[in-house]
Amino acid sequence: MQKIGILNSDIAKVLADLGHTDTIVIGDCGLPVPAGVPKIDLALKPGTPSFLDVLTEVLKYMEVEKIHIASEMESKNPATWQKMQELFEGKEQILSDHEAFKAATKTAKAVIRTGEITPYANIILHAGVIF
């Protein structure tokens, strides 16, 4: 049995298979998953696990070059917006309206669904390289 790291085998495999510029999505429980994009469903009950808990854990193991978030997050979910600014200070940020954000999820390697129930708690992580 694995002793450390992400124990969810689906997430661990997606992260291990990522190449430069590949994307994964971490989303709230209401984010639609496009046809053909694998969904890794972690939602247990409203709020569990939280978006930030999942994101924080994934960031321990993924090299992120840039992020994509919906611009609506700033006004509709300011606490999460502030946390994104802290977590990704110095990283390129793509901001778009929520509809364009959802369209961008179509090319993701996977969507990780959390139990989050706050608005616009969604992010697309673009893989970087470690060299």
Look at phi and psi of residue 89 and say left if phi exceeds 0, alpha if psi is from -120 to 50, else beta.
beta
Mean pLDDT in residue range 55-84: 98
Q: Of the listed 5, 9, 13, 20, which one is catalytic?
A: 20
3-state SS class at 106:
helix
Those residues with Cβ within 8 angstroms of residue 33's Cβ, 6 or more apart along the chain or in another chain: 39, 105, 111, 113
Give the per-residue pLDDT at 2. Answer: 85
- Do residues 127 and 35 touch, judged by C-beta distance below 8 A? no
Model pTM score? 0.97
Based on the residue annotation, tell me whether 126 is a catalytic residue of this protein. Answer: no
Annotated binding site: 28, 98, 120-122
pLDDT digit string, tens, across residues 24-36: 999 999 999 999 9
Q: Residue 113: name the closest of 48, 62, 56 by CA.
A: 48
| Structural domains of the chain, with CATH | 9-127 (3.40.1650.10)
